[in-house]
Amino acid sequence: MSETLISARGLTKRYGDFTAVDAIDFDVAKGESFGLLGPNGAGKSTTMRIIAATSQRTSGTITILGRDPEEHGPQIRAHLGVVPQQDNLDTELTVSENLFIYGRYFGLGKKFIRNKIYELLEFAQLEEKRDVKVDTLSGGMKRRLTIARALVSEPDILMLDEPTTGLDPQARHILWDRLFRLKEIGVTLVITTHFMDEAEQLCDRLVVMDKGKIMAEGSPLELIKTHSTKEVLEVRFGSDRNKEIAPSLRAICSRMEELPDRILMYVEDGEALLEEILNRKLHPTTSLVRRSSLEDVFLRLTGRTLIE
């Protein structure tokens, strides 16, 4: 068992009557890539801010790098790299100035930071943008710069809050590639996301959160195994007929989810089920057999989809 970097027990955060984080327990081990998956408002970002030693918990306990953030905020923050949901770069300054200034906040020497900037610009694929004002960068570049900035102090834990939200598919893939490299060299990652594909790509282990609570925990594969079936058959009969046909489908499949636009049928063998449906002359307008994903896990656990 490797060293535990973060450990939370009964962690709770309330804002007045509203409970944003409701008595959650989790541990993050060194070198692990840990994910918090859930829809908007599940309490992921609040949990992140508590781990980042900026927001104070209401009750419960948490230690980060062996310390209590209530008493040792600056000491903990000195060894974290934080990538917030919204880029908060100084857009008036250049790319390298942003990195330089941020390094100073950790008390790092000028020489160390100057050398580090070369390395980070290469990592973020921003070498040519070195002396360009941040204002003029694309969304994907800004995101990479924010990640590079978080790495300036060589943090023990890199925290990413919704790292690819708002990026186009190409920019997302570039970012995933960069994050995957960090994972390979053993950087401990804590990631929140409401994209199941992102969680599957990047996380070794994750917790599914909803309404401030942890609904399930495990590796993406374990979660799928435990809470879903091997395959999913998606059928559409047109939004009017879906409701009408659902009862006859129920007769041949014990686990189904009816969504407004389609019906999801959970089975071990999707093709066989589809054949059975066609034999019964139920002719769906479209059909698709796919592997189960975390989206299905979430749907199973909460009865709702991740992105609504």
Partner 1 sequence: MNAGIDVARVRSIGALYVAESRISAMLKWKGIIAIVAIGNPLFYLIAIGIGVGVLVDENSGTSGTGGVEYITFIAPALLASAAITAALDEAMFPVIEGFKWRKLFYAMNATPITGPQIALGVFIAALMRVVFTVICYWAVLIAFGVISVAQSWDVIPVTIFAAGAFAAIIMAITAKVKNDDYFMTILGRLIVMPMFLFSGTFFPLNTMPTFLQPIGWISPLWHATELGRHFSYGYSLSAMMLAIHFAFLLALLIGGFALANRTFTTRLTR
Q: Which stretch binds partner 1 (CB under 8 A): 37-45, 54-62, 179-187, 255-263?
A: 54-62
Provide long-range contacts, Cβ within 8 A and 24+ apart, for 100-108. Answer: 102/149, 102/152, 103/152, 103/153, 106/78, 106/152, 106/153, 107/78, 108/152, 108/153
Please pick, from the candidates 3, 92, 261, 271, the single residue that binds partner 1 as defined by CB under 8 A. 92
Q: Which residues pair with 289 in a beta bridge?
A: 233
Q: Does 119 bind partner 1 (CB under 8 A)?
A: no
Nearest-angstrom CA–CA distance, 108 and 104: 5
Q: Does 25 bind partner 1 (CB under 8 A)?
A: no
Tell me the angle at which helices 110-123 and 95-104 cross, rounded to the nearest 10 degrees: 130
Residue 295, classed as helix, strand or coil, is helix
Q: Does 300 bind partner 1 (CB under 8 A)?
A: no
For the bound state, the minimum distance from the C-beta of residue 13 to partner 1, rounded and expressed in Å, comes to 10
Tell me the angle at which helices 139-150 and 95-104 cross, rounded to the nearest 10 degrees: 30
Residue 54, classed as helix, strand or coil, is coil
Nearest-angstrom CA–CA distance, 28 and 2: 10
* Residues of this chain, 127-186, that bind partner 1 according to CB under 8 A: 149, 153-156
Count of positions on this chain that bind partner 1 (CB under 8 A): 35
Q: Which stretch binds partner 1 (CB under 8 A): 67-75, 169-177, 203-211, 287-295?
A: 67-75
Please pick, from the candidates 4, 19, 54, 125, the single residue that binds partner 1 as defined by CB under 8 A. 54
For the bound state, the minimum distance from the C-beta of residue 133 to partner 1, rounded and expressed in Å, comes to 9
Q: Is the distance from CB of 133 to CB of 90 less than 8 angstroms?
A: no
Q: Does 123 bind partner 1 (CB under 8 A)?
A: no
Please pick, from the candidates 10, 66, 109, 166, the single residue that binds partner 1 as defined by CB under 8 A. 109
- Cα–Cα distance list, 255 to 149, 212, 300 (Å): 47, 27, 10
Which residue lies nearer to partner 1 by CB, 148 or 294?
148
Q: Is the distance from CB of 159 to CB of 258 less than 8 angstroms?
A: no
Which residue lies nearer to partner 1 by CB, 38 or 69?
69
For the bound state, the minimum distance from the C-beta of residue 177 to partner 1, rounded and expressed in Å, comes to 24
Please pick, from the candidates 23, 31, 106, 211, the single residue that binds partner 1 as defined by CB under 8 A. 106
Which residue lies nearer to partner 1 by CB, 145 or 199?
145
Mapped to the 3 state alphabet, what secondary structure does 183-213 carry? HHCCCEEEEEECCHHHHHHHCCEEEEEECCE
Which residues of the chain form contacts with partner 1 (CB under 8 A)?
52, 54-56, 73-75, 77-80, 82, 84, 86, 88-93, 97, 101-102, 104-109, 112, 149, 153-156
